[in-house]
Chain A
Amino acid sequence: MEHGSFTDNSAATFSLTDEDHTLANSVRFTLNQDPRVTFCGYSIPHPSQARVNIRVQTTGDPAREVLKDACQDLMLMCRHVRSTFDKAVEDFRGSNAVKAMKIDSKDSSDSEESE
């Protein structure tokens, strides 16, 4: 739901239902990184009501497009976080397995030498 003026679409307030700080703060962060944005912020009109108002003011581009781009960027960031995390877990598991194997082989080689 968008509230803005019909003549100037570079500044608008978007009212999202069923959302809270979880999404709004992340979207505000990615919006801030965009150089086309002059002002962005979010507010929660009442804590008992799950509604968030996100305000975007840009340097001329339509606010709707800028918000969409920010959400796309956030999605790509999340995907990158996920892939990096999965790789890090795999590497950790791999290095642990190698360490366990090294300890095993060292034990067996020691016992062989003593015999």
Chain B
Amino acid sequence: MAEQEKKFSIWDLPDVPMGQLPPHLELQRSRVFCNKDAPIHTESIQYSGAYSSIGVDNSVRLDNFCNNFRVEVIRLNEDDMEFDMIGIDAALANSFRRILVAEVPTMAIEKVLFANNTSVVQDEVLAHRLGLVPISVDPRLFDYMSENDQPNEKNTVVFKLHVKCKKGSPRITVKSDELKWLPNGSELVKESTANSDSSSKPETYTYFSCSQESVPEFVKNPIAPKYPDIILAKLGPGQEIELEAHAVKGIGKTHAKWSPVATAWYRMLPEVILLEDVEDDLAEELKSKCPVNVFDIEDIGKGKKRATVARPRTCTLCRECIRGEDWEKRVALRRVKNHFIFTIESTGALPPELLFTEAVKILEDKCERVITELS
């Protein structure tokens, strides 16, 4: 404990090139410090004049953004993908995530017309279950249907379900592969009033002017539920279900059945830094502490061992490595504020890379709407 305070002057610091922040401030600006009790420096410093008092311009001009922005795809399957976005801010990443969950449209069953339901599953419960079944059809080929519109081949997809369990046969399970697509529209006839002209075609609940099979995409991939083994109901002997389901286009904001992703999430890239050399016994202890094996041991000769950070990306930030005495000054856990690891799991209507592209397009449309309103 010194009696005299050491006079510390900022002019004694080594020269930092003009236009750049001193390293400790740059660290605060670009990293979230995940301490034992709580994370600090979590807010992103967006204001362009934040560092104007020391003469540093914090604004990210468009050309800077375009030069520094990178995307790296890690995994891409039919149903899910994982990719990294580097150089973007949390506000944009969150907007993309919100749009993916709530505003990318899909087709889902909305109206169910029951002809017969003698099963133990009530009408409304069965209709609710049918609504949640994901349908593998490209929603971009359809239009929205409003209240006043007639259901026609451009805004409705019609399915039929007719299952009967015979008396004397064992119980059967109704799975989603029993839903059959009707490309010609509804087959249930509307009860017409007395003065019906005795013309050939009786009126049904939909008004298809041509069969949906004339669209080439549907000939290649006929419309069907994405997964054929979803249990819809169970029938005992003598019970029957006969219904027709109409699927329309909608967005997740109205009802979660129209959400195109099982879920979509992102996390910031974790960064694990060893502040001082961790050797021998301490290195072994550190390696065993981590549940996801972030650390590795390497030999540095003369029988001494040292711990290194091998896989920081798998770190779940469980903070086991900084639990206990003294560990906080050996290991620093941080997150990189502008590096996002996005994971998108699609339910099957559209492949995940198309879903992300659609989400970005929707954000562009929103901006355009605001611009036209302002002009």
Interface residues of A (CB under 8 A from B): 14, 16, 19, 21-23, 25-29, 32-35, 37-38, 64, 67-68, 71-82, 84-89, 91-93, 96
Q: Give the residues in chain B near A67, CB-CB below 8 Å.
A: 370, 374
Interface presence of B215 (CB below 8 A): no
B83 touches A23 (CB 8 A): no
Q: Give the residues in chain B near A91, CB-CB below 8 Å.
A: 73
Known interface pairs A22-B98, A64-B374. Does A82 touch B360 (Cβ–Cβ under 8 Å)? yes
CA distance A75 to B73 in the complex (A): 23
Q: Give the residues in chain B near A16, CB-CB below 8 Å.
A: 370, 373
CA distance A97 to B193 in the complex (A): 63
Q: Which of A21, A25, A33, A96 contacts B61 (CB 8 A)?
A: A33
Q: Which of B59, B360, B374 contacts A81 (CB 8 A)?
A: B360
Main secondary structure of the interface of B (DSSP, over half): helix
B92 touches A75 (CB 8 A): no
With both beta carbons as reference points, the residue of chain A lying nearest to B366 in the complex is identified as A23
Interface presence of B70 (CB below 8 A): yes
CA distance A17 to B153 in the complex (A): 32
- Chain A nearest CB from B48 CB (Å) reads 5
B76 touches A27 (CB 8 A): no
B364 touches A34 (CB 8 A): no
Q: Which 6 A-B pairs have the closest CB atoms?
A: A92-B73, A29-B91, A32-B46, A88-B71, A25-B91, A22-B98
Q: Give the residues in chain A near B150, CB-CB below 8 Å.
A: none
Interface presence of B10 (CB below 8 A): no
A35 touches B71 (CB 8 A): no
Interface presence of B66 (CB below 8 A): yes
Known interface pairs A33-B59, A68-B374. Does A78 touch B360 (Cβ–Cβ under 8 Å)? yes
Interface presence of B173 (CB below 8 A): no
CA distance A75 to B62 in the complex (A): 11
Interface residues of B (CB under 8 A from A): 46-49, 57, 59-62, 65-66, 69-73, 76, 83, 85, 88-89, 91-92, 94-95, 98-99, 102-103, 353, 356-357, 360-361, 363-364, 366-368, 370-371, 373-375
B46 touches A29 (CB 8 A): yes
Q: Give the residues in chain A near B375, CB-CB below 8 Å.
A: 68
CA distance A78 to B95 in the complex (A): 11
With both beta carbons as reference points, the residue of chain A lying nearest to B368 in the complex is identified as A75
Q: Give the residues in chain B near A96, CB-CB below 8 Å.
A: 76
CA distance A33 to B71 in the complex (A): 22
Known interface pairs A32-B48, A78-B364. Does A23 touch B370 (Cβ–Cβ under 8 Å)? yes
15 contacts between A and B (CB under 8 A): A23-B95, A23-B366, A26-B91, A26-B363, A29-B92, A33-B46, A33-B48, A35-B57, A37-B48, A73-B62, A74-B367, A82-B361, A84-B69, A88-B73, A89-B73
- Chain A nearest CB from B352 CB (Å) reads 10
CA distance A82 to B92 in the complex (A): 13
A23 touches B363 (CB 8 A): yes
Q: Give the residues in chain A near B61, CB-CB below 8 Å.
A: 33
New contact pairs (5) apart from A19-B366, A25-B95, CB-CB < 8 Å: A16-B370, A71-B374, A78-B361, A81-B71, A89-B73
- Chain A nearest CB from B239 CB (Å) reads 43
CA distance A107 to B10 in the complex (A): 65
- Chain A nearest CB from B59 CB (Å) reads 5
Known interface pairs A68-B374, A71-B371, A84-B71. Does A26 touch B92 (Cβ–Cβ under 8 Å)? yes
Q: Give the residues in chain B near A93, CB-CB below 8 Å.
A: 76
Known interface pairs A32-B48, A71-B370, A89-B76. Does A77 touch B92 (Cβ–Cβ under 8 Å)? yes
With both beta carbons as reference points, the residue of chain B lying nearest to A87 in the complex is identified as B71
CA distance A21 to B374 in the complex (A): 19
- Chain A nearest CB from B261 CB (Å) reads 15
Known interface pairs A22-B99, A64-B374, A72-B371. Does A82 touch B357 (Cβ–Cβ under 8 Å)? yes
B89 touches A29 (CB 8 A): yes
